Amino acid sequence: MPIEELARRTGVTVRNLRAMQARSLLEPPELVGRKGYYTERHVARVLLVLKLQSRGFSLAAIRALIEGWQAGSGIMDVMGLEDALLTAGVGSAAVEADVEETFPELVRNPRALAKALEQELVAPKNGRYVAPNAELLGIVKQEVAAGFPLEALLEDGDVLLEDLERIATRFRKSFFEHIVNPRLDTGMSGPALSEVAEKVALLRPLAVRVVSILLARAIERGGGSVTATGVQAERKTRRVAKRAEKTRKGKR
């Protein structure tokens, strides 16, 4: 994602994001040509910095704290904490796919490709485009084959992502309040990093499952509009509308 999207996702201005980079609180973006792209790890780091700031830590103290974690617990422990707290997971690693091979129509559509990059459906990697989650790209491809226009589908994706981000924010807020904040009050030592990550490893898939169950229930409640009866009713409504339109035009 470009830095503007990182700013939108985190609520931090572009200027302040660059200040975080200057203070070594935020790693540089991945460069593709002359353009820098940020990832979920950057989102995770910014949100972690913001959370520490809200607990009264200065930027200098946060930098020292992160450096201390990396030195004392190892960089992988810190990265694991960020991943556990702030990124999604479904219990198994996603399989990556080459977009040019899997869905070439997307690569050949500049507007759709730009939108897919914003949504992180596609990401640049070593001079090519990959889908971080091959299953998700496959679903989009199937929906296009079923008749959805690609660009319209991606536009709808923006709304869906906003809704999901609000849901994820609620889960993160609750987890910080009840699990992380009490440990920050006591210093968040090296062992505490692993303990928090283990708790998220347990709770995160449960949160994903809860959303899945409730979404299925919501779709079932509104399912009448996509049943055979619903389709017939829609056809009848359209026929009535067309007759009314013809009558209106005939009176002119």
pLDDT at 117: 92
pLDDT tens digits, one per residue of 159-177:
998 898 888 878 877 877 7
| Dihedrals phi, psi of 174, to nearest 5 degrees | -65, -40
In 3D space, the residue among 189, 205, 223, 227 whose CA is nearest the CA of residue 78 turns out to be: 189
pLDDT at 138: 94
Q: Is 93 helix (H, G, I), strand (E, B) or coil?
A: coil
Beta strands in 35-99 (DSSP E): 35-37, 97-98
**Ranges of residues in the chain whose predicted pLDDT is under 50:** 72-79, 87-92, 224
pLDDT at 73: 47
Give 124's strand partners: 129
pLDDT at 50: 83
pLDDT tens digits, one per residue of 89-111:
444 456 889 999 999 999 999 99
Distance CA 195, CA 198 (A): 5
pLDDT at 170: 83
pLDDT at 113: 94
Is residue 154 within 8 A of residue 119, CB to CB? The reply is yes
Give 221's strand partners: none
**Those residues with Cβ within 8 angstroms of residue 51's Cβ, 6 or more apart along the chain or in another chain:** 176, 180
